[in-house]
Structure 1
């Protein structure tokens, strides 16, 4: 893991808080600043959003010509809600205990 990834990681850099910044008078988090471990997940989540959630008065995602793709505060909130729902649902799967044990074991090996 490179230093840039480490600073953005949930493990090492999250103590600093999320990398929200004000762009065009709006508080957003650029995709390149989301926690490193979530970057691919956020990207895939954005890719399946319906177009009506990408425009209008309160879009979840915005594209800034010089800065790149960003989640608005509403977008980050929607992503965290989806992630929480997904994790909660996973706990009800029949193989959850086995997967949880194996994942914990793999993380310390």
Structure 2
């Protein structure tokens, strides 16, 4: 067990606790902010209970900006790997590796949204 000889298990425990606190905090904030935003976006859509084109457009812009933040972070984090793979982190070639790594399902354009 010399492989684990230099590990300070109290630091591992603290790191696990810190991770759980970060996850819990982000979960609470995501629910507190995201759920009302999503419900408002849905309710202000065309043919819905509180139809309002202006409010729906503004909420749609906010949601689309917030949805792009994780991808922008991924672009930045992947710069070294992207440069190693394609020789640049700029332009179309620089966007390809993060686009391969970070796809996610999207409900945009589904028949239910129309």
More helix by share: 2
The two structures have a TM-score, normalised by structure 1, of: 0.29
Between structure 1 and structure 2, the one with the greater Rg is: 2
The two structures have a TM-score, normalised by structure 2, of: 0.28
More strand by share: 1
- Point out which structure has higher relative CO (alpha carbons under 8 A, 6+ apart): 1
